[in-house]
Amino acid sequence: MPYQAAGFGRTLGDDMHLHNTIVVGGLALGVMCANQASAQGTVERVNPLLQPSPLPYGVPRFDQLRNDDFRAALDQGMREELAEVDRIADDTAPPTFANTMEALEQSGAVLRRTLRVYTVLLSAHSDEVLQKIDAEYSPKLAAHRDAITLKPRLFARVKSLYDRRGSLRLDTEQLQLLEERYRNDVRAGAALSPPEQDAVRANNVARANAVAELRRRILAEVNAAAVVVDDRALLDGLPESDIAGAAAAASARGLAGKWVLPLQNTTQQPALAYLRNRAMRERLFKASVSRNTSGANDTTTLVLEMARLRAERAKLLGFSDHAAYTLDDTMAKSAENALGLLRRMVPATVTRTKEEASRLQVRLRMDVPGATLEPWDWQYYAEQVRRADYALDESEVRQYFELDRVLRDGVFYAATQLYGITFRERHDIPVYHPDVRVFEVFNADSSPLGLLYLDYFARPSKRGGAWMNQLAMQSGLLSTLPVVTNTANFPKPSPNDPALLTSDQVRTMFHEFGHALHGLFSNVRYPSLSGTSVPRDFVEMPSQFNEHWADEPSVFARYARHHRTGEPMPGALKERLDRAALFNGGYALAEMLAACFLDMDWHMLPAAQLPAQVDSFENSSLKTHGLEIREVPPRYRTRYFQHIWTLAYSAGYYSYLWSEVLDSDAYAWFKENGGMTRQNGQRLRDMVLSRGGTKEAAALYREFRGRDATPDALLEERGLK
Ligand SMILES: [Zn+2]
């Protein structure tokens, strides 16, 4: 499925699912239980975060919780964890796997429990109290993690075990836990000398400041570079609702009577698909593509400084460059591997892009004889062709996607067919908002698997996008079963009509549920390795893979039914839907690949070899990789490429395509082996979905597939083969 639509967790990085990466383990010591408190006749209210919940699956007591409970719980959680870690570090007994690694996995129970509830609420149902706590506690939590990771006596114990790991008789999972912990500590600087650690800390501070300033300038420029229009006629072609929005945006800036087109993060702008006036398109495009190049919001110096600081940190930590440092911790392992995969996609992409360009060029010359196709023409003529050739009306399509039907007869049905699991709604579990629904999930033998919270509807207290999160991680060591959440921003139904979804939202539902399965199927001992605790370039594989079942004919036929008549979607409509989905695939992949290469090129040089100039470096990158296509600029240019400067995607933007290669290739395995069967589903569950991070992702995948993944299936799915 192309990555073109705006919005949700599966799309290109404007949003993505929340990883539960904060692992802070812990023994619950000295916690007074609720019964004792009441037995003493005290009327003082007990903070529900400070003790294990007596509810099924240990779910949070949302019925008793107040947002101002978090401060006390975070403070006590950090205090307790530090005390526990000190006891582990100061143990006079020689280090063993049990008294060090397993003790660490069990430490920090209060903090862990608190952070899980807190991160779910902060994103899904936030308020001023939570936002204040976030601003206050983010630096405290970062310092808390450093205090543990860089504790010399603790690292000495971990290292002693790591150095003797061959003789400790560890099983695969234990070995993985030890290696993972050691690697993470070393990557944070635990193995360096004290002066070197000081240099890393100083570098961390310098980078944090540069990131904050970059974030500020990129946001400021998005506002400053918004295009102000004096004449309504220039907006000809733009839908009425967008024109009204532009007028409102102008009023909000004190420019009543004018129109303002705000900029989106990407180089291409949505309005370019509609604006009939060619000069207006050119103006909007140029405002977007030349962002942050001059004036108060110029980011040139800052991006060069970030590249340098990253290269210097990599060197301090023993790596040749930032990409080598970053990729060491991923499935791809090296920049060469990631680049190799990207390079294999270039020829087919360029061929298709040129075909698309000539089709659009013809259409342009019908309007402007002799004109040459420019980047600001692309979206407009693509939309003209899309309308003429596919005649797709999204409001017609939505009549066939009723939310509850898509959930039960689509998402749940597919999971039952593949994995034998079943679902029962529970009304006795406290929730944080009345829109939240809770389902208990059962294995084929009726044993309980976990709980699933579904929070689908948009509201002001929720951030944008869609994501998966966890209220409890599965762990054999802690005897916990998984409690997962899926959150989205689907429009809430009106009192008389059911909630109807777009085809994009249907896919989002399958996507997030794929992450949920990764959490629910987890069958591991150690919480640090549970569920979605896998490398960044592997974590989207289970979710993107699950999207495929939305199109499986037997599944589609069940859920895609008219909400009033119950009639299945007509074949002709489905066909138009499928063909339109492949349209413009060359462009989408080309702008994506260009951004992936650009990201990698900025991060593959030692500090001394970094360029002093941004534009020429950018141009030579595009040229080197065969993507210097005039009409197709990178999805983001260097100066406003937030993913790589201020988000966690430096030397990692390729992850989206890497995961897509895997999920397409895994789906191809299903097609080659009898398709959607219980047996095939069980195999994926046993070999991949239940394994969390207990084994290297590449090895897990290779075992499942019998070979490494190739991009062939991806190119075919995107219509490029
Ligand atoms: Zn995702």
Catalytic residue among 312, 512, 552, 591: 512
Task: Give the whole-angstrom CA distance, residue 295 versus residue 336.
Answer: 37
pLDDT at residue 184 is higher than 90: yes
Lowest mean pLDDT among 100-114, 225-239, 492-506: 492-506
Please report the pLDDT score of residue 630 as a whole number.
92
- Statement: residue 33 has pLDDT above 70: no
Query: Between 70 and 219, where is the model more confident?
Result: 70
Residue of 48, 15, 45, 14 whose CA lies nearest to 31: 48
Q: For residues 108 and 83, give the distance between their C-alpha atoms in angstroms, rounded to a whole number.
A: 9
Q: What is the pLDDT of residue 42?
A: 52
Question: Residue 37 has what pLDDT?
Answer: 36
pLDDT of residue 25: 27
End-to-end CA distance of the chain: 14
> How far is the CA of 202 from the CAs of 62, 148, 651, in angstroms?
41, 18, 22
The predicted-structure confidence for 324-354, as pLDDT tens digits, reads as follows 999 998 999 999 999 998 999 999 999 999 9
102 as an active site residue: the answer is: no
| Each residue's pLDDT tens digit, 639-659 | 999 889 988 889 999 998 999
Distance 539 CA to ligand 1 centre (A): 7
- Identify the top-confidence range among 18-32, 101-115, 243-257, 576-590: 101-115
Can you give the pLDDT at residue 18?
32
Q: pLDDT tens digits for 659-671?
A: 999 999 999 999 9
Q: What is the pLDDT of residue 219?
A: 82
pLDDT band at residue 602 using 50, 70 and 90 as cut-offs? very high
In the predicted model, is pLDDT for residue 689 greater than 50? yes
Each residue of 291-315: b (16+ CB within 10 Å) or e? bbbeeebebbebbbbbbbbbbbbbb
Confidence of residue 43 (pLDDT cuts 50, 70, 90): low
Contact yes or no for 399/500 (Cβ under 8 A): yes
pLDDT for 95 beyond 80: yes
State the pLDDT at residue 333.
Answer: 93
From CA 53, how far away is CA 441, in angstroms rounded?
A: 20
pLDDT bucket at 73, cuts 50 / 70 / 90: very high
The mean of the pLDDT values for the chain is 90
Looking from the CA of 393 toward its CB, the CA atoms found within 13 Å total: 4
Average pLDDT over residues 426-430: 98
How many whole angstroms from 17 Cα to the centroid of ligand 1?
5
> How far is CA 276 from its chain centroid?
35
Cβ atoms of 270 and 245 closer than 8 Å: no
Q: Is the pLDDT of residue 38 over 80?
A: no
CA 276 – ligand 1 centroid, Å: 35
* Percentage above 90 pLDDT, the chain: 74
Ligand 1 centroid – CA 466 distance (Å): 8
CA distance linking residue 253 with residue 232, whole number of Å: 17
The band of 408, judged by pLDDT with boundaries at 50, 70 and 90, is very high
Contact 311/607 with Cβ under 8 angstroms? yes
List of E strands, 458-570: 467-472, 483-490
Mean of pLDDT values over 500-511: 92
Looking at per-residue pLDDT, the higher value among 106 and 139 belongs to 106
Read off the pTM: 0.85
Give 366-407 pLDDT, tens digit per residue. Answer: 999 999 999 999 999 998 888 888 877 777 888 999 999 999
Average confidence (pLDDT) over 611-628: 96
Q: How far is the CA of 41 from the centre of ligand 1 (A)?
A: 48
